Amino acid sequence: MALDLDASLSLLRQCKYLPESDIKALCELVKSLLLEESNIQPVQSPVTVCGDIHGQFWDLLELLKVGGEPPETGYVFMGDFVDRGYFSLETFSLLMCLKARWPDRITLLRGNHESRQITQVYGFYDECQHKYGNANVWKSCCQVFDYLNLAAIIDGRVLCVHGGLSPDVRTLDQIRIIARAQEIPHEGAFCDLMWSDPDDVDTWAVSPRGAGWLFGGKVTREFNQINGLELIARAHQLVQEGYKLMHDNGIVTVWSAPNYCYRCGNVASIFQVDDLLDASRSKSLSQNAGNGKAAANDLEAGGVGGSEQEDRFGAQHFKIFEAVPDQERTTPARLNLQTTQYFL
């Protein structure tokens, strides 16, 4: 009997997890879809780009409310769907169900937490074990992890990736030939795409995370120039204001888990890419950033402090949202959240 995706979506939106047989069928369906997709999945604008979710199910529903429901709105989710939040299972199940229902409107990228090793430490494994009484669903989800896209490219100009760049990757073609159907390695290009962070360094520096690298503005500028990119969008780091532009606006961090771990007090954002980035138009907009209309557009777009940086992106803008109030969300009876500090 075929899985009823609409019925599954209705159940999941109530923060109820699917029967074991249904979630296994969903995993197989999504895996078959991902098998047909590329390491760098091409996406056309308009599309909305999202950062880490981390099992914050009710905040994911808020994100969809703010950004617009599929299929009217297309989404790129840049990984880290699970761990730390109360509802990793329901969160990943909902995202898979949206992918299965509208495969051309939902793109799911792999993050460093879409990993067998990491999920056994930071919550997702224990959650599956608790809810199903066995690890079978966790194993099925991990098989899906192995086929998630490594990156997406919007209109050939905006690269979306969970973490960042790698000293082993100079061109997009070097990402396209990575064998992605495996557990995330401990080093090398695949690892770095999941784990690296932009920083105020010249080129490359050792990452305090113990995986990936810190990379500087020179690296970002050269990579964008070589590959004909206007922007890299990535997630992976908590940003109190929801997003952060760096390296002469060549890279942006998008963070989509408000009040992260239910204690950080941050707002979240989504990045709406409405059309091609046009360099000459961006320059013109930047020169006119001081006029009243541009300032008003900044505020409408949820720009942080009316910053001029957003003008570089023209019709593309960020939407800021806050965590769902406690009275509008449910909390599981048994709490066992990891509060390990590495993300800070």
Give the model confidence (pLDDT) of 30-52 as tens digits.
999 999 999 999 999 999 999 99
The alpha-carbon radius of gyration of the chain (Å, integer) is: 19
pTM to 2 decimal places = 0.88
| Structural domains present in the chain | 23-322 (3.60.21.10)
Q: Is 113 a catalytic residue?
A: yes
**CB-based burial, 85-105: b 16+ in 10 Å, e otherwise:** bbbbbbbbbbbbbbbbbebeb
pLDDT at 308 over 80: no
Q: How confident is the model at residue 298 (pLDDT cuts 50, 70, 90)?
A: very low
Residue 77 tokens, joined: 């989710």
- Angle between the N-to-C axes of helices 20-35 and 136-145, in degrees from 0 to 180, rounded to the nearest 10: 10
pLDDT at 279: 43
Q: Residues 249, 271: contact at Cβ < 8 Å?
A: no
For residue 175, what are the β-bridge partners?
A: none
3-class secondary-structure state, position 75: strand
Rounded Cα distance between 229 and 250, Å, is: 9
Q: Residues 140, 108: contact at Cβ < 8 Å?
A: no
pLDDT at 287 over 50: no
Q: Which of 113, 162, 236, 317 is catalytic?
A: 113
Say if strands 317-321 and 268-273 run parallel, antiparallel, or are unpaired: antiparallel
pLDDT by residue (tens digit) across 231-263? 999 999 999 999 999 999 999 999 999 999 999
Sheet holding 197-198, edge to edge: 197-198, 213-215, 204-206
pLDDT at 327: 87
pLDDT-wise least confident of 9-23, 265-279, 330-344: 330-344
Q: Which amino acid makes up residue 91? A: T
Nearest to 77 by CA among 101, 40, 51: 51
